[in-house]
């Protein structure tokens, strides 16, 4: 006959868990206390009379909710931000985004036959020279200076 503490100690060694993680089913306590050897304890572990509680993890539920909010565009205010404006996104990255969208729009207009090659080239260099703040500013400039060809005129 072994005490329950001894059984738990042996089980903890066999299951490679701490003594506090070892559990013995309440209805099987008399059977467990009759164990004499580690082999008896091993057989009870196999029969699931003695078991170890699972390792407790950290719930991801709150993190998932928070991530969903951020995806929607929430939680991005000044209180959340760490670092200066251009350490969050570099000036080069901002420049590349701006120029690429403007060049894409320029190509689209040219491919649709709304710009002639000289105007395209002129606008291309203006984009390169940082003339336009955004794609909208670029389109406003084109419309104000009537640079677009009317596709229906030729028909």
What pLDDT shows up at residue 1?
Answer: 78
Whole-number mean pLDDT of the chain?
93
Residue identified by tokens 């001894």 is 6
The separation between CA 96 and the C-alpha centre of its own chain, rounded to angstroms, equals 23
Sort 82 into a burial class: Cβ within 10 Å, 0-12 / 13-18 / 19+. exposed
What pLDDT shows up at residue 153?
Answer: 52
- What is the CATH code for 86-144? 1.10.1200.60
- Whether CATH 3.50.50.60 fits 4-52: no
What pLDDT shows up at residue 154?
Answer: 42
Residue 149 pLDDT class (50, 70, 90 cuts): confident
pTM confidence score: 0.56
Q: Which two tokens stand for residue 34?
A: 């009759």
Q: What is the radius of gyration, based on Cα positions, of the chain?
A: 36
Q: Where are the domains of the chain?
A: 4-52, 86-144
Give per-residue pLDDT as tens, 92-122: 999 999 999 999 999 999 999 999 999 999 9
């Amino acid at each position: 006959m072994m005490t329950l503490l001894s059984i738990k100690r042996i089980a903890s060694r066999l299951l490679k868990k701490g003594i506090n993680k070892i559990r013995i089913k309440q209805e099987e306590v008399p059977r467990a206390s009759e164990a004499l050897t580690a082999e008896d304890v091993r057989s009870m572990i196999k029969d699931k009379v003695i078991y170890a509680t699972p390792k407790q993890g950290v719930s991801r539920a709150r993190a998932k909710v928070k991530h969903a909010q951020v995806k929607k565009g929430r939680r991005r205010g000044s209180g959340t931000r760490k670092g200066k404006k251009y350490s969050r996104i570099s000036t080069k990255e901002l420049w590349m985004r701006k120029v690429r969208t403007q060049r894409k729009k320029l190509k689209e207009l040219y491919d649709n036959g709304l710009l002639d090659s000289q105007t395209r080239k002129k606008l291309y260099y203006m984009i390169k020279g940082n003339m336009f703040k955004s794609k909208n500013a670029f389109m406003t400039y084109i419309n104000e200076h009537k640079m677009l060809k009317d596709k229906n005129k030729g028909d």
